[in-house]
Each structure stands twice: as C-alpha cells, then as structure tokens.
C-alpha cells in the first residue's frame, strides 16, 4: 500500500511543479497573435498566388490587419478575390476600402503569323525567356510575342492559352483573376493589367514595338509606328506617344474609339463592343487581312 501512496505523492508533486512552471512560462513568454489575422485569412481565397505582392494569403492577412491598425487599407488588394472579398475583409476589420475596379490581363501584341513574317527558325529551348535571350526571335520584331507560352505556364487559373491559329496568347476574361503572374513571366513586358471595362469593353494599343516607323512597319503589318494620329484625335488626352509607341491610359480612356478609326496601322484594338457600331472597323480589318492572305496564297501559287 505504502509503495503506491509514495508513488502517487511523488508523481503528483512533480506534476504539480511542472504545471506551475509551464503555466508561468506560457504567461511570461506568450506571443500575442491577433485573432483577426486568422479570421481574415479564412476570408481570402487561399490560392497563395502572390498576386497581392505578399508571400501567400497568410502574408496578405497579416498585412491587412496591420494596415487596419495603421488606419488604412490603401494599396492592399487581393486581385483574385476582387472587390467582393475585399469588402468582406473591410467589414470584418471595420474599415472602408476604395472601390477598386476589376482588372484583367491584356496581351498587347497582334503579330500573328499572317501579320508578321517569319524570317528565321529557332531551334533552341522553347521558352520565351530563352528565345528572348538569344535574339529577336523568329520574326523581325524585337518587341513582340515569342509565342512559347511562358505566360501560359505561369497562370495558375488556366485563364491564358496560346491560340494555335495565331500563335498569340489569349486571355479568358472570366477566368483571369488579374494576379499579374503572366505580366511577370513575359520577358518582353507585353502583358499588362488593364481595367476590365464595362461589359468587358476595352480599347488598347495592341503593340509594344518601340522601333522607329520604318523599322516597325517592316517587321509587322499591325505595328504601332508612333505617328501620333491617335494622340491628336483623343478628346480626353488619354493617349501619349513615347519612344515611337502610343499608349492609352486606361484610367482616362472613355472608350469612344475615335483612335481606333484613325490608326493607319490598325494597331489600336477595341474588344467586346457590339457588332452594329464597331462593325465598320472590325469588319474592314478582317476583310482586309483575309484578302491579304488570299493575295499571298495566290502569289505563292503563281510562284509554284
């Protein structure tokens, strides 16, 4: 009996002392974690895409709570969750957020096989980064899309794919979360995040060629030559021409499409506009390109 009693007392005492020490230590060395971080973390999509600029969603949650304590959520935006998620987060933290507009990735190159002649064949590693390091690529344009799909590989949402007919990547507006991974992956900075626009309507310069007019014209049929007609035409001052390249500021653009009509090279593109009004421009461009192809094929036949 005695043995049992001694064992119980000894172990009980050790247990008690250990409990007191542990309790004291946990009080003394406690690390306070704001419970809101976990709550915010639950609201975020959990894709860990890094589109917000932080290492994963937990990093973003931390930054959001810190931002709320500092009194502002400016500059913090989850591109995947968008305004909806940010609204929920703001409610939880008792903050208001500026209504940020939804964005989408835009591929600014229209150098399809028919617009941009191939002048060489590249046989090396088929990634855009490798081809870019090697030289101008398979065409004479040193700025345009290389078509190896580094952006496709970078997209975690399956929103971007190379169109086999044109060789140029296309973005699925619905799937794109504007996380910006493709923007970083493109070695030529062709992809840009732009305002999604009402009903996905957008007007942008689909070219990034900074060569002077004649060189740009030689390289591609739809290159911007920096003529400045669009700059003069724009009633809202949204267009600037710098380094032989026009750029439309998507914050100032009101989608009037006057620039589209004056561009002599059809380098300015308007997408998702109703056919009735835009038919003149889009139709004429398609007809002209198709007639061009038929001409070239005729020429080839003649040569053969």
Partner 1 sequence: MKIKTFSMGGIHPEENKLTHEVPTIVAELPKQAIFPLSQHIGAPAKPVVAKGDKVKVGTLIAEAGGFVSAPIFSSVSGTVFKIDTAIDATGYRKPVIIINVEGDEWEESIDRSNKLELVENHPDLTPEEIVNRIKNAGVVGMGGACFPTFIKLTPPPTAKAECVIINAVECEPYITADYRLMMERSDEILVGLELLMMGAKVTKGYIGIETNKPAAIELLTEKCAKKFSGTKYQVEVVPLKQRYPQGGEKQLVDAVIQRQVPAPPAIPVNVGAIVQNVGTAFAVYEAVMKNKPLFERYTTVTGKKLTNPGNFQVRMGTPMKNLIDACGGMPEGDNKLLAGGPMMGKALTSTEVPICKGTNSVTIISDDEARRKEPQPCIRCAKCVGVCPMGLEPYLLAKLSEVKNWERAESEDITSCIECGSCHYTCPAYRPLLDNIRLGKATVMGIIRSRAAKK
Annotated binding site for [4Fe-4S] cluster: 49, 52, 57, 78, 141, 145, 148, 151, 155, 176, 179, 182, 186
Q: Which of 90, 141, 86, 133 lies closest to 111, judged by CA?
A: 141
Question: Under the criterion CB under 8 A, does residue 125 sit at the interface with partner 1?
Answer: yes
Q: Rounded to an integer, what distance in angstroms lies between the CA atom of residue 154 and that of residue 176? A: 12
Question: Under the criterion CB under 8 A, does residue 153 sit at the interface with partner 1?
Answer: no
Q: Rounded to an integer, what distance in angstroms lies between the CA atom of residue 117 and that of residue 223? A: 12
Torsion, Cα of 181, 68, 46, 84 (10° steps): -80
Q: Which is nearer to partner 1, 128 or 246 (CB)?
A: 128
Kindly tell me which residue out of 45, 59, 102, 142 binds partner 1, with binding defined by CB under 8 A: 142
Q: Rounded to an integer, what distance in angstroms lies between the CA atom of residue 239 and that of residue 138? A: 30
Question: Under the criterion CB under 8 A, does residue 123 sit at the interface with partner 1?
Answer: yes
Q: Which stretch binds partner 1 (CB under 8 A): 2-10, 136-144, 195-203, 252-260?
A: 136-144
- For residues 71 to 100, the per-residue mask of contacts with partner 1, x marking binding by CB under 8 A and - elsewhere, is ------------------------------
Q: 213 to 272, contacts with partner 1 by CB under 8 A?
A: 215
Phi (first) and psi of residue 103, to 5 degrees? -115, 165
Kindly tell me which residue out of 9, 11, 133, 283 binds partner 1, with binding defined by CB under 8 A: 133
Torsion, Cα of 241, 247, 249, 254 (10° steps): 100
Q: Are 41 and 57 in contact, with CB atoms under 8 Å apart?
A: yes
Distances (CA, A) of 237 to 103, 232, 249: 21, 8, 9
Kindly tell me which residue out of 10, 134, 158, 264 binds partner 1, with binding defined by CB under 8 A: 134
Q: Which is nearer to partner 1, 81 or 167 (CB)?
A: 167
Kindly tell me which residue out of 8, 25, 119, 283 binds partner 1, with binding defined by CB under 8 A: 119
Parallel, antiparallel, or unpaired: how do β-strands 268-271 and 202-205 relate?
antiparallel
Kindly tell me which residue out of 49, 151, 190, 211 binds partner 1, with binding defined by CB under 8 A: 211
Q: Which residues bind partner 1 (CB under 8 A)?
A: 119-121, 123-125, 127, 129-130, 133-136, 140, 142, 211-212, 215
């Amino acid at each position: 009996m005695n043995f049992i009693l001694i064992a119980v007392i000894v172990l009980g005492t050790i247990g008690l002392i250990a409990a007191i020490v542990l309790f004291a230590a946990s009080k003394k060395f406690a690390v306070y974690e704001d419970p809101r971080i976990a709550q915010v973390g639950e609201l975020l999509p959990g894709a860990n895409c890094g589109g917000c600029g932080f290492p994963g969603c937990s990093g973003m949650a931390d930054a959001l709570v810190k931002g709320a304590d500092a009194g502002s959520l400016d500059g913090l935006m989850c591109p995947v969750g968008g305004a909806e998620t940010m609204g929920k987060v703001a409610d939880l933290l008792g903050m208001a957020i500026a209504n940020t507009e939804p964005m989408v990735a835009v591929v600014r190159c229209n150098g399809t096989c028919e617009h941009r002649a191939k002048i060489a064949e590249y046989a090396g590693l088929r990634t855009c980064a490798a081809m870019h390091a090697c030289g101008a690529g398979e065409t004479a344009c040193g700025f345009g899309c290389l078509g190896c799909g580094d952006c496709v590989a970078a997209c975690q949402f399956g929103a971007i794919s190379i169109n086999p007919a044109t060789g140029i990547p296309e973005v699925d507006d619905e799937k794109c979360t504007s996380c910006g991974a493709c923007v970083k992956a493109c070695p030529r900075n062709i992809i840009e995040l732009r305002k999604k626009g009402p009903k996905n309507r957008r007007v942008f310069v689909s070219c990034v060629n900074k060569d002077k007019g004649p060189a740009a014209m030689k390289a591609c049929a739809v290159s911007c030559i920096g003529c400045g007609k669009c700059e003069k035409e724009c009633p809202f001052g949204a267009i600037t021409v710098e380094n032989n390249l026009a750029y439309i500021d998507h914050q100032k653009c009101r989608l009037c499409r006057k620039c589209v009509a004056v561009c002599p090279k059809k380098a300015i593109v308007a997408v998702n506009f109703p056919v009735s009004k835009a038919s003149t421009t889009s139709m004429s461009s398609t007809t002209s390109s198709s007639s061009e192809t038929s001409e070239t094929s005729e020429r080839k036949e003649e040569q053969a």
